[in-house]
Amino acid sequence: MKKTNFVFVSLFLPLVISIVACRPLIKKGELLQVGRENFNRYWILDKAVQSGDTLILQAEEAKLISRFVAKNFILSADIFTTAGAEGALYFHTDNKGSDPSEGYSVIINNADYRQGNSQKTGSLAFTRNNFIHTVNDGEWFNLRVEVIANHISVSVNNKIISEYIQPASPKRIQGLENMILSEGKIILQKSNDSGQIRIDGIQIEARDPDELALSDASFVDDSTGEILTLLNQQGFPVVDYHGHLKGGLTVEEICRHGRVFGYNYGIAPNCGLNFPVTNDSALLAYYDGIKDEPVFKAMQCEGREWITLFSSENISKYDYIFTDAMTWTDHKGRRMRLWIPEETFVEDEQKFMDMLVDKIEAILSQEPVDIYVNPTFLPDIIAGNYDSLWTPERMDRVIKVLVENDVALEINSRFRIPSIAFVKRAKEAGVKFTLGTNNGGKDDLGRLEYSLSVIQEAGITAEDIFIPRPAGDKKVIKNGLPAKITG
Ligand SMILES: [Zn+2]
């Protein structure tokens, strides 16, 4: 993002006069292009420092408070963070600014994963949370916030990160009752004492205050919708970590789906023998195709041959990698794909289960994956006996290998696995979890129904959810790839 200078404002003198009154509302069509020369007319600086063309928030709770009141508006600002700096843009609030329970706030935080607030830049906090890192510290980015009637949209570098249509009677948890639209001040505030937030050119366009409310035709406020609303207000990382761009589904479409229902997506290509991505150049090309998109960049490692096809360095560009135990070679040398009946051989249920658990142990202890997906999947021919075949002893062997190798367990909505009993046992042992769908195309994205019902029933909290490792801490770099095929 190119740094832009403050815009000179002498053209807007009539406006300047109109907004210095007490709590003036900026009027429809008025455009505030706020620059160095006129900054103090529009903003109160509290512990904030002006340096040339740039405003600097460094001290904890340093802030800019608007002298005007805005209702419907479009705000655009060029912002730069140095390492560790966190803050937020508040709107429809009073001048306290630090009270996130009044009006809404948009998070500014470009720290890597597992560092600082788990919500990253562009998150509409506690409403439509964003956990995806889209901007690095040390680079300028543009933040755009649109508030029109009951519709809020937040974009970073021209990509919509979060979006929300406030319903007529919004449900709010205790403490967030005032997180509603009204009109109020705009406040940009630092929230910690690390680093700096630098702000260049802010432009605010007042829109028609009588704009009509949008009806929300997409969000479904059933039991799943209620859980999604509740989890967002609790700051729970609701992420479908297992999405695929298949069947013509575009990244824009899958992101829109997530924004409407209130969760983030991780997108993975299928990488392995006889899959679309079979070598380093294809792996890099896929990454480059999604690197600027507001999704987690994931790699699905297929079959057992994947370890021979890609370099650790290229794998480590992805935010996380995952695999399942649905493809392996049995003791008679038959390469089985458990979802294909013609390729699956179950001659003795108990022996098959023991072999499956052996394979899961070998895969998860040797392949440097972050998540075990489609977990505990059984072929159709024995799937009806899931609860009796997944004995406590077998569950515990899988749980042990997950814990020992720091592998998260996916709660999969497509196959509705693992069972609630398995998840409760895994939680007890300290396993981390992900929610995942493994969609096959456009029409089966769902809304994480099974995953959400299981986390409710098993009492899984935000702390139990997997967050990707930061750069430099990837398992594939630390552990390397196994020398031999694992199964
Ligand atoms: Zn998949």
Q: What is the mean pLDDT of the chain?
A: 92
State the distance from the centre of ligand 1 to the C-alpha of 92, rounded, in angstroms.
42
181 & 272 share domain: no
Which range marks the domain in which residue 121 is found? 10-206
Residues near 354 by beta carbon (within 8 Å), at least 6 away in sequence = none
Q: DSSP assignment, residue 343?
A: G
Looking at 154, 177, 206, the residue that finishes a domain is 206
Bridge pairing between strands 151-156 and 159-165: antiparallel
* Claim: this prediction has a pTM higher than 0.85: yes
176 closest CA partner among 230, 119, 233, 232: 233
State the distance from the centre of ligand 1 to the C-alpha of 438, rounded, in angstroms.
5
pLDDT at 20 over 90: no
State the distance from the centre of ligand 1 to the C-alpha of 320, rounded, in angstroms.
13
| pLDDT value, residue 27 | 75
332 & 472 share domain: yes
292 & 331 share domain: yes
CATH, residue 23:
2.60.120.560
State the distance from the centre of ligand 1 to the C-alpha of 270, rounded, in angstroms.
7
200 & 228 share domain: no
94 in Cβ contact with 169 (< 8 Å):
no
State the distance from the centre of ligand 1 to the C-alpha of 242, rounded, in angstroms.
6
Band (pLDDT 50/70/90 cuts) for residue 84 is very high
68 & 27 share domain: yes
State the distance from the centre of ligand 1 to the C-alpha of 467, rounded, in angstroms.
18
Peptide linkage before 375 cis (omega within 30 of 0)? no
Bridge pairing between strands 433-436 and 408-412: parallel
* pLDDT single digits (tens) 418-427: 999 999 999 9
Band (pLDDT 50/70/90 cuts) for residue 14 is very low
* pLDDT single digits (tens) 140-176: 999 999 999 999 999 999 999 999 999 999 999 999 9
State the distance from the centre of ligand 1 to the C-alpha of 71, rounded, in angstroms.
44
Looking at 206, 238, 257, the residue that finishes a domain is 206
State the distance from the centre of ligand 1 to the C-alpha of 161, rounded, in angstroms.
24
| pLDDT value, residue 276 | 93
Average pLDDT rounded to a whole number, residues 115-120: 97
| pLDDT value, residue 417 | 98
CATH, residue 419:
3.20.20.140
How many domains would you assign to the chain? 2
89 closest CA partner among 132, 131, 149, 43: 43
State the distance from the centre of ligand 1 to the C-alpha of 10, rounded, in angstroms.
57
State the distance from the centre of ligand 1 to the C-alpha of 46, rounded, in angstroms.
50
CA 19/CA 10 separation, integer angstroms: 14
Residue 406 lies in a domain: yes
State the distance from the centre of ligand 1 to the C-alpha of 439, rounded, in angstroms.
7
CA 388/CA 427 separation, integer angstroms: 20
| pLDDT value, residue 4 | 43
282 in Cβ contact with 260 (< 8 Å):
no
State the distance from the centre of ligand 1 to the C-alpha of 113, rounded, in angstroms.
23
State the distance from the centre of ligand 1 to the C-alpha of 269, rounded, in angstroms.
8
Band (pLDDT 50/70/90 cuts) for residue 51 is confident
* pLDDT single digits (tens) 308-327: 999 999 999 999 999 999 99
